[in-house]
């Protein structure tokens, strides 16, 4: 030892374990603290900027956050399978459901790169490690191309999964296999592309002919699709079950065979009076006009006579007291809501203001759903106003705007109170609201995480896999409607959102009502509509309002009259606007359809000097018909003029389009 050096005391061996323990505890505490700090940071979602996601992907100490960042980046990198594989590399770790998703997306990217060996390896790995996850259904589908046993496993384990429905359409070539595939579609996915043809084929095939019970299932599926003729042919004389009878009656009603439908509804109600199908049959019978439906109701069993639909139908013609008695006894039944409106509308058109006020003041407003509450409150205020009760009317309309500021009646209440109006000036009309990601808040952590990671298709498949029955409750309709719209199924998705608005009680679940209204106000094809609006100098909000009502933002739909595309243009009208004939494919192009629709709306606005009511009515019924309806009442009381439109379809259409326009321009949310 050097002369001036100091001796360093050696650590006694007895104290070494203590020091090591303290060091480990300190490191553990630091790890726990770091994990807690990471958990407090906001989780990435589709609103997170790309630059931040890229930093998380490279630098986050949390591997779970790195994987989430990569999955979010995956949705932003476009159709580049090589880049997708790069983002997914090394992310299939653990037993987490996201690992299954990574393996699936990696397999799909490998297939896109024609690397079949790598894709097969990923599919097999996915099936081995995660056999119960929805992603495994895709593995069974792909691997089942060479192993039919796996296709059967797919149909049994994931019956409603899109992969299973695709496999059912492809089932064959043996007649028995084709028949079984058709039966699977009838039970789990009758609206899946190609299902209708498979059902008809199974009904007709001479070998492996379906049994009577199987014919009932196939016919029920065809009836759900509205093909009553094919459903009846499929039954081939066999007796249908209750569900098929009900579906057949609905198909006959939609096809215009009201008399035949009423007979089937009556037969169903009398054969099984205590069943849910019988109750629905009675409700449908009660909605039919004319004396024949009253005769059918009179032939119902006694147990069904004293029900809200039957009594509401009978109260349509007697005095006000009979109506009020039904409303008092069944305030929460949809038949009572319709009775109140039909009788109040009649009184309003006949200018019987006191009668209208009495009917609209019946204490059922607490039971009305959000989709109907605005109508009741607007017309109550209107009848008060016409009787000189100006302060009461203003108070009623003010409450309406506080609770239900959206839609047609929100617009009319605002106009009556001098608090706003529609704008048809493209320079003053706001731009369309771009779709903005919002949490799903489903209560299912796995589903909510898939949604947060911008995996709408995976979220939809997760939802479908766990459900046996169609949604009925408002919350379920809202969730499924949002999921469907996220994967591009706007037709059914928006339809389910509208159903939710007719089932969610007003004054309850305010947060749900606000979420529902935001979803209903979210347009699609924003860029295409904005470009078309600019080219024709009309508001983009007007194009969106028409597109929502005409096609529910579904460019591939066609009407029974032959109208095609996003704004449902008739081919002759489109050819005139385009200066030459256009094929159906051109009209199904959202951009082209929006351009032509914008030109037509511009013409109608010019023809009617910018009157939005006449413009909307003309788009539906034609300018010639509308010209015959114009009278001074349009300026004095436009709401009454609209209610007097002789075509029920046009009457509803005008209110829907102008209500859409108000909502797109004002973006109101229901008050709590």
- What is the distance between the alpha carbons of residues 318 and 557, in angstroms, rounded to a whole number? 43
Answer positive or negative: Cα dihedral of 552, 557, 558, 560.
negative
Look at residue 466 in the predicted model and tell me its pLDDT: 75
- Contacts of 91-95 with C-beta under 8 Å, sequence gap 24+, read 91/66, 91/67, 92/125, 93/63, 95/129
Q: Which residue has the tokens 């759900």?
A: 224
DSSP per position, 161-193: SHHHHHHHHH--SSHHHHHHHHHHHHHH-TTST
Residue with tokens 């109208």: 563
Q: What beta strand segments (E) does 546-625 contain?
A: none
**Whole-number Å distance between alpha carbons of 580 and 314:** 54
Q: Which residues of the chain have pLDDT under 70?
A: 1-40, 672
Pairwise CA distance, residues 555 & 564, whole Å? 8
Query: CA 481 from chain center: how many Å?
Result: 3
Q: Please tell me what DSSP assigns to residue 347.
A: H
**Could you list the active site residues?**
550
Over residues 110-132, the pLDDT tens digits come to: 999 999 999 999 999 999 999 99
Helix (H) or strand (E) holding 75: none
- Secondary structure of 356-389 in HEC code, one letter for each residue: HHHHHCCCCCCCCEHHHHHHHHHHHHHHHHHCCC
Distance CA 622, CA 542 (A): 18
Residue 68 phi, psi dihedral angles, 5° rounding: -60, -40
* Nearest to 19, CA basis, from 27, 7, 31: 27
427-444 pLDDT tens trace: 999 999 888 899 999 999
Phi-psi region of 639 (alpha: psi -120 to 50; beta: other; left: phi over 0): alpha
Q: Is 354 helix (H, G, I), strand (E, B) or coil?
A: helix
Q: Which two tokens stand for residue 436?
A: 């903005």
- Distance between start and end Cα atoms, the chain: 84
Element at 101 (helix H, strand E): helix 97-112
Burial label, 182 (beta-carbon count in 10 A; 0-12, 13-18, 19+): buried
pLDDT at position 31 = 44
Q: Give the separation between CA 264 and CA 269, rounded to whole angstroms.
A: 9
d(CA 535, CA 595): 8
What does 613-635 look like in DSSP terms, one character per residue? HHHHHHHHH-HHHHHTT--THHH
Q: How far is CA 269 from CA 137, 296, 305, 643, in A?
A: 41, 10, 11, 34
Do the beta carbons of residue 384 and residue 393 sit within 8 Å?
Answer: yes
């Amino acid at each position: 030892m050097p002369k001036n050096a100091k001796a360093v005391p050696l650590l006694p061996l007895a104290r070494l374990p203590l020091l090591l323990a303290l060091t480990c505890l300190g490191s553990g505490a630091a790890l726990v603290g770091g994990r807690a700090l990471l958990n407090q940071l906001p989780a990435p979602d589709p609103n997170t900027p790309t630059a931040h996601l890229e930093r998380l992907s490279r630098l986050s100490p949390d591997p779970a956050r790195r994987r989430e960042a990569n999955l979010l980046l995956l949705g932003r990198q476009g159709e580049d399978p090589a880049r997708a594989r790069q983002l997914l590399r090394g992310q299939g770790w653990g037993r987490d459901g996201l690992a299954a998703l990574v393996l699936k997306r990696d397999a799909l990217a490998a297939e896109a790169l024609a690397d079949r060996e790598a894709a097969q390896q990923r599919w097999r790995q996915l099936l081995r490690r995660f056999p119960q996850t929805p992603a495994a259904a895709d593995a069974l589908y792909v691997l089942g191309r060479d192993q039919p046993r796996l296709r059967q496993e797919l149909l049994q384990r994931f019956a409603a999964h899109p992969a299973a429905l695709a496999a059912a359409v492809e089932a064959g070539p043996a007649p028995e296999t084709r028949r079984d595939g058709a039966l699977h579609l009838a039970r789990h996915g009758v609206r899946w592309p190609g299902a209708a043809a498979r059902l008809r084929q199974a009904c007709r095939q001479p070998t492996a002919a379906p049994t009577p019970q199987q014919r009932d299932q196939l016919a029920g599926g065809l009836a759900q699709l509205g093909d009553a003729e094919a459903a009846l042919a499929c039954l081939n004389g066999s007796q249908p079950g209750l569900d098929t009878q009900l579906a057949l009656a609905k198909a006959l009603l939609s096809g215009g065979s009201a008399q035949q439908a009423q007979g089937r509804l009556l037969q169903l109600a009398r054969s099984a009076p205590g069943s849910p199908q019988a109750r629905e049959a009675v409700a449908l019978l009660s909605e039919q006009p004319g004396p024949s439906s009253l005769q059918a109701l009179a032939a119902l069993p006694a147990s069904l006579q004293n029900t809200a639909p039957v009594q509401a139908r009978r109260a349509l013609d007697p005095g006000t007291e009979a109506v009020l008695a039904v409303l008092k006894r069944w305030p929460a039944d949809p038949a009572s809501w319709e009775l109140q409106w039909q009788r109040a509308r009649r009184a309003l058109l006949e200018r019987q203001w006191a009668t209208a006020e009495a009917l609209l003041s019946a204490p059922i407003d607490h039971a009305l759903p959000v989709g109907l509450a605005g109508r009741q409150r607007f017309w109550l205020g209107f009848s008060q106003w016409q009787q000189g009760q100006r302060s009461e009317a203003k108070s009623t309309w003010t409450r309406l705007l506080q609770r239900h500021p959206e839609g047609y009646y929100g617009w009319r209440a605002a106009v009556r109170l001098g608090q706003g109006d529609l704008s048809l000036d493209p320079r003053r009309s706001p731009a369309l609201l771009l779709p903005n990601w919002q949490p799903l808040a489903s209560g299912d952590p796995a589903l909510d995480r898939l949604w947060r990671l911008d995996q709408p298709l995976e979220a939809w498949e997760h939802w479908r896999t766990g459900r046996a029955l169609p949604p009925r409750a408002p919350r379920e309709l809202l969730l499924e409607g949002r999921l469907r719209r996220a994967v591009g199924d706007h037709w059914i998705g928006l339809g389910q959102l509208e159903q939710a608005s007719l089932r969610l009680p007003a004054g309850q679940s305010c947060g749900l009502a606000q979420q529902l209204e935001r979803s209903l106000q979210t347009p699609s094809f924003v860029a295409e509509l904005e470009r078309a609006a600019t080219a024709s100098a009309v508001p983009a909000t007007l194009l969106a309002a028409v597109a929502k009502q005409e096609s529910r933002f579904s460019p591939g739909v066609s009407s029974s009259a032959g109208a095609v595309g996003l704004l449902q243009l008739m081919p002759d009208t489109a050819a005139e606007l385009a200066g030459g004939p256009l094929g159906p494919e051109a009209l199904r192009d959202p951009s082209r359809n929006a351009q032509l629709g914008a030109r037509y709306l511009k013409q109608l606005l010019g023809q009617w000097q910018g009157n939005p009511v006449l413009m909307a009515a003309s788009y539906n019924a034609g300018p010639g018909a509308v010209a015959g309806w114009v009278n001074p009442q349009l300026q004095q009381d436009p709401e009454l003029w609209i209610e007097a439109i002789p075509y029920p379809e046009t009457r509803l259409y005008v209110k829907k389009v102008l209500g859409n326009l108000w909502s797109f321009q004002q973006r109101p949310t229901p008050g709590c």
